[in-house]
C-alpha cells in the first residue's frame, strides 16, 4: 500500500473521529447549557431565598395550606431571584475573572456570553413576575421586582463605591419572608415586618464574616465590603452589635402570636451562638474565627425558621 493510500485512510479515520466527537458534543450540549444556566442562577443562594419566602408564606397561613400558591411562590421567586443573581454576574464579569472563587463561573470563564445571560435575565424575570402576579397578587410581584432592582442595579455597583452597599443589599436580602407573608395575605402587616427585621439584621454578621475571609480578593478588585475597610476591632464591634439585636428579635414572633415560646427560646439560643462566635472573633481576629461566625450564621437562619414553623403547627 502506497504513501498516498495511507494518507487517504488516515484522513478518513480523522474525519470519522471528528464526526463522532461533534455528535457527542451536540448530544451533550443541551445538558451542558442547562448546567451553565443553572449555575448562573446561583442555586444555593436562590434556594435560601425560596426557603425563607416559603416560611413566610406558611407562617401566614391559617388552617389549610394553599399548595398551588406555595408552588407558584417557589417557582416565581426562584426565577426572579435567579435573574437578579445573573444581573450581578453580568455587571461583575470582569471582576469575577480576577478572583479565584469566581473565575470559573459561566460568564467570566466564557461558557456563556453576555448576550445569552441578558436574554436569560429577561425571560426569567418576566415569567416569574407574571406567575407571581396572576396566581398570587400584584403586591407580591412588585415587591419581588423591587428586590431584583435593589440587588442587581443598586447594591451590585455600590460594592465598589462604599461599604454602605452591605446595608443597601440587606433590604432585598430580607424581603423573602416578607414577600412570602404578602403572597399569602396580600398585605404588609406587623408580622411581616418582624420576619423582615430578623432576616435583615442576620445578614450583617453573616456577610461581614464572609468579607473578612475574602478581604484580600475583594480589595484586589476594588470592592469595599467591610464596614470600616479593615479587619480590626471596629468591624468586630459591628458584627457583635447586629448579633445582639437578634436576641430580642427572636422573641417578637411569639409576642405577635405568630409562634409559641419554644421557638422563641430556640431563636434566642441560635442568636447567642452567633454572638458567642463573634466574641471569639473579637479575641482572635483571625480568618478561622471569622469562618466560625459565618458557619454559625448559616446555621441560624434555617434553624430559626424551621423552629417557627414547627412551633406554629
Quick one: CA dihedral 45, 47, 50, 51, positive or negative?
negative
Arithmetic mean of pLDDT, 279-306:
94
For residues 40 and 86, the answer to whether their CB atoms sit within 8 Å is: yes
Q: What is the pLDDT of residue 41?
A: 81
> What percent of the chain stands above pLDDT 90?
62
Check whether 206 has a pLDDT greater than 80: yes
Q: What is the pLDDT of residue 19?
A: 43
Q: What is the mean pLDDT of the chain?
A: 87
Q: Which helix (H) or strand (E) holds 227?
A: none
For residues 255 and 261, the answer to whether their CB atoms sit within 8 Å is: no
Q: What is the pLDDT of residue 16?
A: 41
CA distance 177 to 183: 10
Grid cell at residue 233? 476591632
Q: What is the pLDDT of residue 313?
A: 74
Return the minimum-mean-pLDDT range out of 2-6, 138-142, 158-162, 258-262: 2-6
Check whether 5 has a pLDDT greater than 80: no
CA distance 199 to 212: 20
Which residue in this structure is represented by grid cell 414572633?
253
Arithmetic mean of pLDDT, 68-74:
95
- Nearest by Cα to 222 from 143, 281, 142, 163: 163
Model confidence band, residue 210 (pLDDT cutoffs 50, 70, 90): very high
Model confidence band, residue 104 (pLDDT cutoffs 50, 70, 90): confident
Q: Identify which has the larger pLDDT, 16 or 105.
A: 105
Spatial neighbors of 44 by CB under 8 A, at least 6 apart, are none
Check whether 197 has a pLDDT greater than 50: yes
Check whether 97 has a pLDDT greater than 90: no
Model confidence band, residue 27 (pLDDT cutoffs 50, 70, 90): very low
Model confidence band, residue 40 (pLDDT cutoffs 50, 70, 90): confident
Check whether 257 has a pLDDT greater than 80: yes
Q: What's the N-to-C CA distance of the chain in angstroms?
A: 83
Q: What is the pLDDT of residue 114?
A: 86
Model confidence band, residue 238 (pLDDT cutoffs 50, 70, 90): very high
- Nearest by Cα to 213 from 239, 243, 244: 239
Q: What is the pLDDT of residue 29?
A: 53
Check whether 7 has a pLDDT greater than 80: no
Looking at domain 13-188, which of 1.10.357.140, 3.40.640.10, 1.20.120.420, 3.40.109.10 is its CATH number?
Answer: 1.10.357.140
Arithmetic mean of pLDDT, 85-107:
86
Query: Whole-prediction pTM value?
Result: 0.85
CA distance 212 to 235: 9
Spatial neighbors of 275 by CB under 8 A, at least 6 apart, are 240, 243, 244, 246, 247
Q: What is the dihedral of CA 22, 28, 30, 33, to 10 degrees?
A: -100
Amino acid at each position: 500500500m502506497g504513501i498516498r493510500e495511507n494518507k487517504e485512510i488516515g484522513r478518513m479515520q480523522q474525519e470519522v473521529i471528528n464526526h463522532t466527537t461533534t455528535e457527542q458534543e451536540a448530544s451533550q450540549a443541551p445538558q451542558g447549557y442547562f448546567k451553565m444556566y443553572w449555575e448562573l442562577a446561583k442555586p444555593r443562594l436562590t434556594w435560601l431565598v425560596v426557603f425563607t419566602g416559603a416560611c413566610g408564606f406558611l407562617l401566614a397561613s391559617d388552617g389549610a395550606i394553599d399548595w398551588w400558591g406555595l408552588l407558584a411562590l417557589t417557582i416565581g421567586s426562584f426565577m426572579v431571584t435567579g435573574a437578579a443573581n445573573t444581573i450581578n454576574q453580568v455587571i461583575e464579569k470582569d471582576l469575577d475573572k480576577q478572583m479565584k472563587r469566581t473565575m470559573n463561573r459561566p460568564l467570566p470563564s466564557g461558557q456563556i456570553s453576555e448576550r445569552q445571560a441578558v436574554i436569560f435575565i429577561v425571560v426569567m424575570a418576566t415569567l416569574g413576575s407574571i406567575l407571581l402576579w396572576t396566581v398570587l397578587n400584584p403586591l407580591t410581584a412588585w415587591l419581588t421586582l423591587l428586590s431584583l432592582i435593589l440587588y442587581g442595579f443598586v447594591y451590585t455597583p455600590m460594592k465598589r463605591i462604599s461599604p454602605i452597599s452591605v446595608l443597601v443589599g440587606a433590604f432585598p436580602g430580607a424581603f423573602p419572608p416578607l414577600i412570602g407573608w404578602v403572597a399569602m395575605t396580600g398585605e404588609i402587616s406587623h408580622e411581616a415586618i418582624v420576619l423582615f427585621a430578623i432576616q435583615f439584621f442576620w445578614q450583617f454578621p453573616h456577610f461581614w464574616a464572609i468579607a473578612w475571609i475574602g478581604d484580600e480578593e475583594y480589595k484586589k478588585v476594588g470592592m469595599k465590603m467591610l464596614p470600616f475597610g479593615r479587619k480590626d476591632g471596629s468591624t468586630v464591634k459591628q458584627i457583635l452589635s447586629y448579633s445582639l439585636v437578634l436576641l430580642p428579635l427572636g422573641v417578637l414572633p411569639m409576642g405577635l402570636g405568630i409562634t409559641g415560646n419554644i421557638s422563641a427560646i430556640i431563636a434566642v439560643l441560635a442568636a447567642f451562638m452567633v454572638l458567642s462566635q463573634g466574641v471569639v472573633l473579637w479575641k482572635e481576629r483571625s480568618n478561622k474565627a471569622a469562618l466560625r461566625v459565618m458557619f454559625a450564621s448559616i446555621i441560624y437562619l434555617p434553624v430559626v425558621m424551621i423552629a417557627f414553623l414547627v412551633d406554629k403547627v
